[in-house]
Amino acid sequence: MTSNVERKEPAFDHLAGLKRKRRLPASYFLVFFLLAATPIFLHNDYYLHVMIAIFYNLIYVTTYRMIHRTGQFHFGAHGFIGVGAYASVLLVMKLGLSFWLAMPLAGVISAILAMAVGYPSLRLKGIYFAIITWGFADSLKFLYIQAKEPFGGAMGIFSIPSPNSVALPLFGTIDFSQKTHYYFLALGLLMLTIYVLYRLERSRYGLIFNAIREGDHLSRSVGINIMNYKVLAFAVCSGLAGLGGSFYAHYTGYIAPQDFSISLTISLAVYMVVGGMDKFSGCIIGTVVLMLLGEIFAGYAEYQLMLYSAFMIIVLVIRPEGLISLPQLFWKKKPRAVADSGKAVG
């Protein structure tokens, strides 16, 4: 005799089996080729640096958004990004590992730590989970400051080596002596992150994440082990964020505890909300627009914060759904009632 849970699972499997767009849209490949061709026409190191900064921040914010899809108010993203950065640096500088081995190991370490933190804390939601993750991330920052060995203390770690040279067919040897080399590495990491998260969101797991966000009790009633799925999302996203932290450390050549403070998580939350939380592309648009505006407003140092804040307030007042919903202002459908009345008169 089957249990109630076993009888309800097939119904949910039927829901999960509904046709969904799992393949990446053509725009993904178009954008990738356009971005890959950009360095051919763009030879200014400053512009390349801005784009690289946008790329690794997009890794952070897309992973941050996925955790929110499970209904968890995450306020410790900076902690797991920092774990990836410090782990990668220590694996290279203390143990002598290659960057190409240290970077994935740093992601794995971030994911394992997320699982260790997630299992006891993901039973809570809302402000309670936010406080726990915030406290954990700031505890890591305190550890980095207090322990000069091996974390460098408050001064951080200097002279971080660049990635090891690699020989690629058709491209020759890439020795990371130019911004262009870092550009392609950052772009590759970003495309990998978007691919993994997009497929995850459009799969059965994405449906389950949505169900958990709508209500834990309802999800549990149809046989979903909500804890396992919450921890899965938390671990995968923290691991990918750790990869971004690893890249950041070896790109800048210097990391300090201040680089992984609560202000980083707040920035990610702002990018996500201003861009639009409901669609995957929303956080991407929000990050790109706000970071570019930050660079533009930097020329008005006295008014930078005021201009930046005013833009965010205006967007959220006009379109609470975020920048992703702005096209609806210009392409509104004609109300059906008006159209029907027009036909009746005719």
Q: What is the pLDDT of residues 255-278, one digit of tens each?
A: 999 999 999 999 999 999 999 988
What is the helix (H) or strand (E) element at residue 346, kind and residue range? none
Instruction: Identify the DSSP state of 255.
Output: B
pLDDT band at 251 (very low <50, low <70, confident <90, very high): very high
Q: What share of the chain is helix, strand, coil (3-state, %, to 5)?
A: 75, 0, 25
CB atoms within 10 A of CB 76: 26
Instruction: Identify the DSSP state of 42.
Output: -
180-227 pLDDT, tens digit per residue, is 999 999 999 999 999 999 888 888 888 888 888 877 777 777 777 888
Q: Which of 22-36, 48-62, 303-317 has the highest mean pLDDT?
A: 48-62
User: What is the pTM assigned to this prediction?
Assistant: 0.86
Do 124 and 230 contact (CB within 8 A), yes or no? no
Do 246 and 85 contact (CB within 8 A), yes or no? yes
As a whole number of angstroms, the distance between CA 99 and CA 88 comes to 7
Average pLDDT, the chain: 86
CA angle 215–218–221, rounded 5-degree value: 145
* Token code pair at residue 331: 């392409």
Sign of CA dihedral 180, 184, 185, 190: positive
Task: Between 18 and 164, name the one with better pLDDT.
Answer: 164
* Token code pair at residue 246: 């690893």
Widest pairwise Cα distance in the chain: 83
Nearest one of 278, 233, 248 to 54, comparing CA atoms: 248
Q: Give DSSP secondary structure letters for 186-237.
A: HHHHHHHHHHHHHHHHTSHHHHHHHHHHH-HHHHHHTT--HHHHHHHHHHHH
Do 219 and 78 contact (CB within 8 A), yes or no? no
The pLDDT score that the predictor gives to residue 260 is 96
As a whole number of angstroms, the distance between CA 54 and CA 37 comes to 17
The pLDDT score that the predictor gives to residue 279 is 86
As a whole number of angstroms, the distance between CA 79 and CA 23 comes to 32
Cis peptide before 150 (omega within 30 of 0): yes
111-152 pLDDT, tens digit per residue, is 999 999 999 998 888 889 999 999 999 999 999 999 999 999
CA 130 to chain centre: 17
As a whole number of angstroms, the distance between CA 91 and CA 217 comes to 43
Task: Between 270 and 173, name the one with better pLDDT.
Answer: 270
